[in-house]
Amino acid sequence: MNERKASLIMVGDIVGPPGLRALFALLPSFAKKHSADLVVANGENAQKGYGIGKEELDIMLSAGVSAITTGNHVWERKDAMELLDGEQALLRPANYPAGLSGKGLLHVKGWAFEWVVINLQGREGLYAIDCPFRTADELVAKARRQHPGAFVIVDFHAESPEEKEALAWHLDGRASVVAGTHTHVPTADERILPKGTGYITDLGMTGPIDSIIGVKTEICVKRSLTQIPYKMETAEGEAFMSGALFHIDPSTMACVGIERFNLRTD
C-alpha cells in the first residue's frame, strides 16, 4: 500500500465572478505545492452569487476541482435540473426528497487514491428536508460496501454549528473528513476527533474581500437598517480563496493533519 499521506483540498463557497477568478488564479499552484490528490469545492454561489451554470462549472473543473458540492442555492437557476442530471462532477445535497435531479454521492479517483464525496444539507435554520444523519448513515454504509478502499469525505452545508459538530461526532471513525460550508465565514476550530475524523465547522468563502459574505456592503447594511429585503448583488474587487488542507493516513483512513488557508490574489 502507498505509504505517503493523501492530501485533500476543500474550498469554501465560491461566490460569483470574483470567487471564480480567485480559484482560477490560486488553486492550480496551491494544489501542486501540496501534492493534492483531490480538490473538492462548493459551487452553489458561483453564478453571480446564486446557483451554478455550465460556464461556472467548466471554470471550476479547468482550475483543478474534481468534485463540486452545493447546497440550498443550487436550485436557483432554471437549468439546474438538467445540469445536475448531466454533469458527473456536480453534486447536490443527498437528503433532499427522492425523485429530484442529481445525486449526493460521488466516487472519484484522485492521482493515487480513491475517494467518495458525500454532500448533505442541514435542517436547522434551513428547510425541513430529510434527516441528514440517517442519510449519512445510509450513504457511508453504501460507500464502504461498494468502495471499501476509498476515503469518505462529507461536505455538510448547514447553518447551525451545533448541527455540524453533531454530524461530525456521529460519523467519527466512519468518515475521514467532515467539513461544513454555507455561512461564508471560516472557523478556527479545525480538529481531529477521537476516532480519526478531521473536522472544521466552516471552510469559509472564496470571493470578494470587501464584501459582506460576498455581497455588496451597501446593500447588506441597507437591509439591516431598514429590514427591507433589497436584492443581493455580488461585490467586486480583490478576492481570496478560503478552505482547508487535510492529510489522511491511507493505512487507517484517519485524518492526521488539518491546515486552514486564506489566500489572496494580490
Name residue 10's amino acid: M
Residue with cell 470567487: 19
Q: Looking at this protein, which amino acid is placed at residue 60?
A: M
Distances, alpha carbon 147 to alpha carbons 87, 115, 208, in Å: 21, 8, 38
SS3 readout for 142-180:
HHHHHCCCCEEEEEEECCCHHHHHHHHHHCECCECEEEE
Sign of CA dihedral 240, 162, 42, 7: positive
Q: What burial letters (b/e) apply to 199-218, b meaning 16+ CB within 10 Å?
A: bbbbbbbbbbbebbbbbbee
Catalytic residue status for 73: yes
Of the candidates 34, 73, 147, 182, the residue annotated as catalytic is 73
Half-sphere exposure of 116 (CA within 13 A, CB side): 23
Helix 54-63 and helix 16-33, axial crossing angle in degrees, nearest 10: 20
Residue type at position 131: C
Cβ neighbours for 94, distance < 8 A, ≥ 6 positions apart? 103, 104, 105, 118, 119, 120, 135, 139
- Return the active site residues: 73
